[in-house]
């Protein structure tokens, strides 16, 4: 699942390592997701160690006796000098980088931050943790759009060049069933719990 909305999300700013909080609307979103998951079994919880994801995991797990394990490898990409900028600002300051973002390319690098290849390498290390869990367990992963898309590509065994073709909205739920020969995505980017009733 992805964390609830933040000010940076609302203003369409690049928020990678920036340790920003969710907004009141973000908390409302994850409370709705918590209610949706109320009757689901959760055996283990892993979360990015940034505030917006840890707070998301805490809301989802309130009332449950389950430890939330902070994982730096689940952090969003480190955008370096592009942190907090809008795409328009990036286009003016770093036109070459903006070109790689628009026409997604794995050679993308963020000045003062991570290259996309480093980001993928860091994120996929998280799968080592998953492999230590029992096959019958239900694992909850709280992260960000970028890492979740990396993990979906990795679990499905598809090239990371397809990363940009997967959408993961705020407070969305995705479900992957894992087997020795691979994973099956049974739900992707579901936000039906966020629809207003009545």
> What pLDDT, on a 0 to 100 scale, did the predictor assign at position 47?
98
pTM over 0.85? The answer is yes
Helix and strand counts by DSSP (H, E) for the chain: 8, 5
Catalytic-labelled residue, pool 46, 144, 145, 163: 144
pLDDT averaged over every residue in the chain:
94
Asked if the structure places residue 2 within a domain, the reply is no
> What pLDDT, on a 0 to 100 scale, did the predictor assign at position 196?
74
Q: What are phi and psi of 197, to 5 degrees?
A: -85, 150
Asked if the structure places residue 142 within a domain, the reply is yes
Asked if the structure places residue 197 within a domain, the reply is no
Q: How many CB atoms lie within 10 A of CB 164?
A: 13
Asked if the structure places residue 1 within a domain, the reply is no
Q: What confidence tens digit (pLDDT) does each residue in 25-59 have?
A: 999 999 999 999 999 999 999 999 999 999 999 99
Q: How many CB atoms lie within 10 A of CB 97?
A: 19
State yes or no: pLDDT of 105 exceeds 90.
no
Average the pLDDT over each of 57-61, 103-107, 143-147, 171-175 and give the range with the smallest value.
Answer: 103-107
State yes or no: pLDDT of 78 exceeds 80.
yes
Asked if the structure places residue 196 within a domain, the reply is no
Give the chain's domain count.
1
- Catalytic residue check, 144: yes
> What pLDDT, on a 0 to 100 scale, did the predictor assign at position 197?
63
State yes or no: pLDDT of 198 exceeds 80.
no
**Structural domain span for residue 175:** 7-189
Asked if the structure places residue 180 within a domain, the reply is yes
Strands 182-190 and 173-179, sheet pairing: antiparallel
CATH number of residue 12's parent domain: 3.40.50.1240
> What pLDDT, on a 0 to 100 scale, did the predictor assign at position 135?
84
Confidence of residue 181 (pLDDT cuts 50, 70, 90): confident
Asked if the structure places residue 198 within a domain, the reply is no
Asked if the structure places residue 43 within a domain, the reply is yes
Catalytic-labelled residue, pool 2, 3, 13, 149: 3
> What pLDDT, on a 0 to 100 scale, did the predictor assign at position 179?
87
Q: What confidence tens digit (pLDDT) does each residue in 143-158 have?
A: 999 999 999 999 999 9
């Amino acid at each position: 699942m992805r964390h609830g909305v933040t000010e940076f999300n609302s203003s369409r700013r690049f928020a990678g390592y920036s340790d920003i909080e969710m907004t009141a609307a973000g908390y409302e979103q994850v409370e709705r997701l918590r209610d949706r998951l109320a009757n689901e079994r959760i055996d283990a919880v892993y979360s990015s160690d940034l505030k917006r994801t840890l707070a998301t995991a805490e809301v989802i797990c309130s009332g449950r006796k389950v430890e939330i394990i902070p994982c730096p490898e689940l952090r969003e990409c480190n955008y370096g000098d592009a942190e907090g900028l809008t795409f328009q600002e990036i286009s003016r300051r770093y036109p070459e980088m903006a070109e790689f973002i628009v026409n997604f390319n794995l050679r993308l690098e963020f000045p003062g931050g991570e290259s996309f290849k480093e980001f993928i390498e860091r994120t996929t290390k998280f799968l080592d943790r998953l492999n230590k869990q029992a096959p019958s367990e239900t694992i909850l992963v709280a992260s960000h759009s970028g890492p979740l898309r990396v993990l979906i590509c990795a679990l499905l065994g598809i090239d990371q060049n397809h990363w940009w073709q997967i959408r993961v909205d705020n407070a969305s739920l995705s479900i992957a069933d894992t087997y020795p020969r691979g994973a099956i995505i049974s739900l992707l980017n579901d936000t039906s719990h966020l629809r207003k009733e009545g």
